[in-house]
């Protein structure tokens, strides 16, 4: 686990002595001063690293100096090619920068500050835009989620309970000020995995019972009238609460690591579940108390969504295409216009139309992108371009209050933050 050099154009190589012990060299660059700046980690990276260092190697003097920033678990480092004193160091949380890197030449300390203004590293997992109240509510990895009362100022994280990952989020379509969320608890914290808000997320009341789950997470849905909540934790078969999480009963649905719970957006009695492991859709006509198998043999690993204000209307985004049911999931039709779909969301209808605008991340005519349809999926318009793929758009929803406004997030695991797009046509 060392650095090698060649002095004959790569014909032969020899180890460079004196470097750090117990670390793998990852990335290096020779600065204008002739010194090699190189990062080391205790794994080959990126996900298996838990410690690292940054070193400066004088090629001419064959000497080493540890110039590591004060903290951070992941090392990749870049030098400014026009300024030897300027360097950037990235971690899984932010970007650090130094403007006096050459101070190390005289044995002085280097100073590092956060230089990530304008660079968003959060990873959204959930995006919900209610029909009234705040423009957006989000669920994110590591930092739980936010109620975005403004799209131009930084929001305050959700509290009571705080959570690590936000994994499930829904609002009551006929009573949109009522919101439910689930996720994972912070390490070392109390095992409380969900909460309900009656005031558009201004305050939250934590579940007092966890439905028998010790892991939490999973997905959640609330009936259109806000009376019943169905939750599919990662480690427990889906459960039902009629008292805002104070107690739970079994739904009879099977345990699945990829069970998606969805509520009908018009009829309070109708609720749905999609087992993405099996390609099966279940439905309930009594607010989640009893369930029946609505359809089998659907594509696996898809994403189920429903537009606001329409009864029995379901959309399934899959790698093999976009499917629609207008019969509460009992029969499905594949759209001929879409080759593959990652996620589908809905926003305010265009002027002169009644059906919500559809926003879809997927492939049409061999082009991967973000598309909008104002005619129920008959035709599509791409609203991004090849220079703005954002690392792959994995989450999308429209704004039901403003036509042309759409919210997107990158594919899970990519920290691009939440991106807002607007268009008047």
- E strands, 337-414, in order: 340-347, 357-364, 367-373, 381-382, 393-398, 406-410
- How high is the pLDDT of residue 356? 97
All residues at 6 or more sequence positions from 422 whose CB lies less than 8 Å from its CB, including other chains: 402, 404, 405, 406
pLDDT-derived band at 344 (thresholds 50, 70, 90) equals very high
- Domain extents in the chain: 4-114, 124-421
Using only C-alpha atoms, the chain has a radius of gyration, in whole angstroms, of: 25
What CATH number does the domain located at 124-421 have? 2.130.10.10
Distances 65 to 19, 57, 244 between C-alpha atoms, Å: 9, 7, 58
Asked whether residue 399 carries a pLDDT value surpassing 90, the answer given is: yes
Asked whether residue 46 carries a pLDDT value surpassing 70, the answer given is: no
- How high is the pLDDT of residue 92? 62
Which residues sit opposite 200 in a β-bridge? none
Question: First and final CA of the chain: distance in angstroms?
Answer: 57
| Average predicted confidence (pLDDT) for the chain | 91
Query: Exposed, middle or buried: residue 150 (CB in 10 Å: 0-12, 13-18, 19+)?
Result: exposed
Distances 46 to 22, 26, 41, 69, 76 between C-alpha atoms, Å: 17, 10, 9, 18, 10
Asked whether residue 188 carries a pLDDT value surpassing 80, the answer given is: no
Which region among 134-138, 270-274, 324-328, 417-421 has the lowest average model confidence (pLDDT)?
417-421
How far is 152 from 418, CA to CA, in rounded Å? Answer: 12
Which region among 10-14, 92-96, 420-424 has the lowest average model confidence (pLDDT)?
92-96
Written as six digits, the tokens of 41 are 């980690």
pLDDT-derived band at 231 (thresholds 50, 70, 90) equals very high
- How high is the pLDDT of residue 257? 93
Select from 361, 320, 321, 325 the least CA-distant residue to 344.
361
Mean pLDDT of the 330-341 span: 97
- How high is the pLDDT of residue 391? 77
For the chain, give the percent of residues with pLDDT over 90: 64
- How high is the pLDDT of residue 143? 87
Select from 354, 379, 383 the least CA-distant residue to 371.
383
Burial 160-185 (b: 16+ CB within 10 A, else e): ebbbbbbbbbbbbbbbbbbbbbbbbb
The whole-angstrom distance between residue 203's C-alpha and the CA centroid of its chain comes to 23
- How high is the pLDDT of residue 413? 58
pLDDT-derived band at 3 (thresholds 50, 70, 90) equals confident
The pLDDT tens digits for 49-83 are: 677 888 999 988 889 999 887 654 445 778 888 89
> pTM for this structure?
0.78
Distances 241 to 33, 204, 250, 357 between C-alpha atoms, Å: 66, 17, 9, 32
How far is 297 from 107, CA to CA, in rounded Å? Answer: 67
Bond preceding residue 161 cis, omega within 30 of 0: yes
Asked whether residue 125 carries a pLDDT value surpassing 90, the answer given is: no
Written as six digits, the tokens of 420 are 């807002």
pLDDT-derived band at 126 (thresholds 50, 70, 90) equals very high
pLDDT-derived band at 1 (thresholds 50, 70, 90) equals low
* 248 within 8 A of 265, measured Cβ to Cβ: no
Mean pLDDT of the 89-110 span: 84
Residue found by looking up tokens 């976009």 in the block: 322
- How high is the pLDDT of residue 18? 85
pLDDT-derived band at 39 (thresholds 50, 70, 90) equals confident
pLDDT-derived band at 28 (thresholds 50, 70, 90) equals confident
């Amino acid at each position: 686990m060392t650095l090698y050099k060649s002095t004959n154009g790569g014909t032969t190589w020899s180890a460079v002595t004196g470097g750090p012990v117990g670390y793998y060299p990852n990335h290096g660059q020779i600065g204008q001063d002739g010194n090699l700046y190189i990062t080391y980690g205790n794994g080959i990276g990126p996900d298996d690293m838990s410690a690292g260092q940054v070193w400066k190697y004088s090629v001419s003097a064959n000497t080493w100096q540890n110039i590591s920033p004060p903290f951070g678990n992941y090392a990749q480092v870049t030098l400014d090619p026009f300024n030897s004193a300027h360097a950037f160091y990235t971690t899984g949380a932010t970007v650090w920068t130094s403007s006096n890197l050459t101070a190390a030449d005289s044995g002085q300390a280097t100073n590092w500050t956060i230089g990530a203004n304008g660079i968003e590293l959060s990873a959204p997992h959930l995006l919900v835009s209610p029909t009234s109240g705040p423009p957006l509510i989000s669920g994110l990895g590591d930092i739980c989620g936010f109620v975005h009362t403004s799209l131009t100022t930084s929001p305050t994280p959700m509290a009571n309970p705080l959570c690590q990952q936000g994994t499930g989020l829904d609002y009551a379509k006929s009573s949109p000020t009522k919101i439910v969320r689930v996720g994972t608890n912070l390490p070392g914290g109390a095992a409380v995995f969900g909460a309900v808000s009656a005031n558009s997320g201004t305050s939250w009341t934590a579940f007092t019972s966890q439905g028998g789950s010790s892991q939490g997470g999973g997905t959640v849905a609330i009936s259109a009238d806000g009376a019943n909540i169905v939750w599919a934790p990662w480690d427990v078969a889906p459960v039902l609460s009629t008292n805002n999480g104070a107690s739970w009963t079994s739904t009879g649905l099977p345990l699945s690591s990829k069970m998606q719970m969805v509520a009908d957006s018009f009829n309070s009695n109708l609720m749905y579940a999609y087992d993405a492991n099996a390609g099966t859709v279940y439905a309930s006509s009594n607010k989640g108390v009893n369930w029946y198998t609505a359809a089998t043999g659907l594509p696996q690993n898809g994403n189920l969504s429903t537009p606001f204000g329409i009864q029995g209307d379901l959309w399934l985004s899959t790698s093999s295409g976009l499917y629609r049911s207008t019969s509460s999931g009992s029969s499905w039709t594949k759209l001929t216009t879409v080759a593959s779909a990652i996620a589908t969301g809905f926003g305010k209808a265009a002027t002169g139309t009644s059906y919500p605008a559809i926003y879809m991340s997927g492939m049409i005519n061999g082009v991967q992108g973000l598309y909008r349809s104002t005619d129920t999926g008959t035709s599509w318009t791409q609203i991004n371009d090849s220079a703005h793929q954002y690392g792959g758009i994995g989450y999308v929803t429209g704004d039901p209050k403003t036509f042309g406004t759409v919210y997107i997030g990158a594919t899970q695991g990519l920290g691009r933050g939440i991106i807002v797009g607007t268009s008047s046509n």
